[in-house]
Amino acid sequence: MLGSQILKNRRQILDALALGSIAAVSENYLFSTVAAAEPLIVDPVLVANLNTATQGDGEDTVDVLSNLGQPSPVYVPYGEFLFDKPMEFIRSRLHGLGQIRATDGVTPPYYSMIDERPQSVDGKTIGSAFEGDISRVNFAVGHVIKGADTLGHASDSSPDVLRVYTPEAYATVTFLHNESGSRDLGGRTDMRGATMATAHLTDVVHLGRGDSAAYVARSRVSGQNPDSEHVINNAWGMGFVSEIRAQADGVFLLPVESAYTDSGFDVGSVGHLLLGRRTNNTGEKYANWIGYVAKSVGGDKPWDVFYTAYGSSKIGIDFTQAYFESEGFEGAAMVLSSGQRIYFDGHLDMNIPAESRWKCEDPGDIWIGYDSADKSITIRNGDQSTLSLSQDGLALTGNLGLFGAPPASQPKISGSRSDTGRLLGAVIGALVELNLVEDLTVD
């Protein structure tokens, strides 16, 4: 398009290219297709609705009703054009600035439909990735980055930046600058009640029987540093990376969020699923397989919580289908180091608003832990009662009750040792009080 003028044919487009009025692209790019046929150029000046279109140099008119059912691309200039059939009859790949309004909806500027499996080649290299039939693919992008120094050097990064970015070297780059939006939780704990600004929005309606995803990343990794001593010093293959940086006090950082609802239907759900197939556990260069890592690094202040569960659930953590059979780690469903404890009487601060009540504020004073100094496991209930199991035996601080008896303090026996009969009765009475024996003696 030259200003508000419609470029009706090839000559006008090439004239505009010569004048430098529009970006210079090759003639083959403008007109070539898989079938080596020229795409249709819909001309709103010549037609009030989309019943006819000019083709190629504008000398011929063709029936759009038949051509929109073919796989050849159709260029639609700026504007909206009427089509007296449903969108399912539009089989061409549309591109341009305009839209076609069918009887059941309106097409986007870039639109395509496919209902037959195309010639498919799942290429593993840049040279084979597009060997299949891509005539219905709206955007097929190939990009090659070469040269050891093209992306800079890791040493160029600052201490608070994980990676060095070179946007000018990437296949696609989007920069979103947003100054609009609001949030009003209104006391709700589901984190809703906010506007959303996003650089990319993908909507998916899945009516098929297989899987669907709004985004799929596939990466093949083989790069290694010759002097590497650790696997983390070699190339990493990642499907998603987010680096979020605060630039003001009081903001909230959330690198990943997933929200979903059953909408009243009986469905299954797994919030986060990792599927890993390991066939080699040699473990050289510290090669470990770990399902989840929360790592506090680079700062001088601790996190508040590594993992928090919120709301109603039948079970908190379930290992009943896991197997821990590696030599030296038999049964290791959970591992704690010396000095670490499990607390049993944590308290929330109910003065904190519900939407900000993320964690326990007081762990309480009932706990179980391990001390490597005396190799003892200690159970503590408050300040007075402690049970300690070490290699030397069992030690108790506090009252004792056995075999169903209520806990009682340590019995005291007084009197003269020469009065053996009375002392024996006192000892038996003390043992009975502790429920250690049943008194069946007779006078």
Among candidates 110, 113, 131, 114, which has minimal Cα distance to 122? 131
Distance CA 223, CA 233 (A): 10
Give the span between the Cα atoms of 357 and 159, in whole angstroms: 32
DSSP one-letter code for 5: B
Instruction: Determine how many CB atoms are found less than 10 A away from the CB of residue 92.
Output: 23
Nearest partner of 375 among 339, 326, 415, 324, judged by Cα = 339
**Residue 439, both tokens:** 């008194």
- Residue by residue, DSSP assigns 312-351 as --S-S---TT----STT-TT-SS---TT-EEES--B--TT
pLDDT at 155: 76
Q: According to the model, what pLDDT value does residue 313 have? A: 95
Q: How far apart are CA 308 and CA 314, in angstroms?
A: 16
pLDDT mean values, one per 10 residues, the chain (443 residues): 39 42 34 35 38 41 51 75 82 83 90 89 88 89 92 77 88 95 72 85 94 93 89 91 92 91 95 94 93 89 93 94 94 94 94 88 93 88 84 83 77 74 82 78 77
Model pTM score: 0.74
> What pLDDT is stored for residue 185 in this prediction?
67
For 11-58, the pLDDT digits (tens) are 444 444 344 333 333 333 333 223 333 444 444 433 333 444 444 444
> According to the model, what pLDDT value does residue 275 have?
93
Q: What is the pLDDT of residues 142-176, one digit of tens each?
A: 999 999 889 988 777 776 677 889 999 999 999 99
